[in-house]
Amino acid sequence: MTDAVVLEHVWKLFRRYPVRGHTTLKDLIVRGEWRKRFKGQQHVEALRDVSLQVPQGLVLGIIGSNGSGKSTLLRLVAGIYRPSSGRIVVAGRVAALLHLGLGFHPELSGRENIIIGGLAAGLPRREIRRAFDGIVEFAELREFIDAPVRTYSSGMYARLAFSVAVHVNPDILLLDEVLAVGDERFSEKSKQRMDRFKREGKTILFVSHGLDKVAEWCHEAIWLEGGRVRARGPAEAVVGEYRNSCAADGGFGTRARVRHG
């Protein structure tokens, strides 16, 4: 079976955010910043030597605590970031739904953003024109389609983003916590659409804190911790392992299960 996504020894380093405000040499020394800089610790290692093969048609869940590198991984696959080292191969058209606020131009209308979004995904204009009505219909934005996107509510924005992503006929779909946005009804509608993608054999990388959803919906899962792949396997097994570890840490995994009253 061919792989849709391959990562080979991928590292992603970010420069640490600079210390706010005025920094003197004395500050650097007193706070130990100097040593850190000198020793080259001014980088965050968001991903550390990640190797991964994702066969076509696999629905892969990506779980792990905040800051473990999930979003960075998706952005690398989307081509938004380049790896600091290592290699990424992506076979097919990618549609990414990463998070609100990414991708649309606020001053432009919904209509213009659909066209730009389609072009960015590699669709020829002709195909965008053909898909246009379907996108607007699915997003339920007919009356607002010529208003600037900055006037949209977050729900409208999310609907438009989701609708564009699913209509560009992607081979690979990247989803970062998106099914949680929008109202109940739209969320149900988007779930059905995702199920259809799964049935059609699209490759899906699905980042979520919804562990039940990952266990139930994904074929496999990986668990990222500190930028490394700590576990990979059948989704239910990996979710179980992650839950156990959270419980042992007394982390949010246990607290989330506390019932009041």
Ligand X SMILES: Nc1ncnc2c1ncn2[C@@H]1O[C@H](COP(=O)(O)OP(=O)(O)O)[C@@H](O)[C@H]1O
Residues of this chain that interact with Mg ion (CB under 5 A) are 70-71
Answer yes or no whether residue 14 interacts with ligand X by CB under 6 A.
yes
Q: Which is nearer to ligand X, 70 or 167 (CB)?
A: 70
Q: Which is nearer to ligand X, 49 or 112 (CB)?
A: 49
Q: Which is nearer to ligand X, 33 or 131 (CB)?
A: 33
| CA separation for the pair 159, 204 (Å, rounded) | 19
Q: Is the dihedral of CA 171, 80, 52, 252 positive or negative?
A: negative
The percent helix, strand, coil of the chain (3-state, each to 5) is 40, 25, 35
- Per CB under 6 A, contacts with ligand X among 183-222 are none
- x/- contact string, 42-81, with ligand X (CB under 6 A)? --x-x-----------------x-xxxxxxx---------
Q: Report the partner that residue 159 touches, choosing among Mg ion, ligand X, none (CB closer than 5 to 8 A by kind).
A: none
Q: Which is nearer to Mg ion, 75 or 167 (CB)?
A: 75
Cβ 40 to ligand X, closest distance in Å? 16
Q: Report the partner that residue 192 touches, choosing among ligand X, Mg ion, none (CB closer than 5 to 8 A by kind).
A: none
Q: Which is nearer to Mg ion, 209 or 219 (CB)?
A: 209
Cβ 94 to ligand X, closest distance in Å? 18
Q: Report the partner that residue 66 touches, choosing among ligand X, Mg ion, none (CB closer than 5 to 8 A by kind).
A: ligand X
Q: Which is nearer to ligand X, 15 or 126 (CB)?
A: 15
The residue behind tokens 């432009």 is 108
| CA separation for the pair 253, 224 (Å, rounded) | 15
Select from 241, 224, 242, 221 the least CA-distant residue to 232: 221
Select from 130, 150, 11, 135 the least CA-distant residue to 76: 11
Cβ 154 to ligand X, closest distance in Å? 19
| CA separation for the pair 26, 160 (Å, rounded) | 51
| CA separation for the pair 60, 160 (Å, rounded) | 24
Assess contact for 149 and 111: CB atoms under 8 A: no
Count of residues that bind ligand X according to CB under 6 A: 11
Which residue number is nearest to Mg ion in terms of Cβ?
71
| CA separation for the pair 205, 226 (Å, rounded) | 19
Residues that bind ligand X (CB under 6 A): 14, 44, 46, 64, 66-72
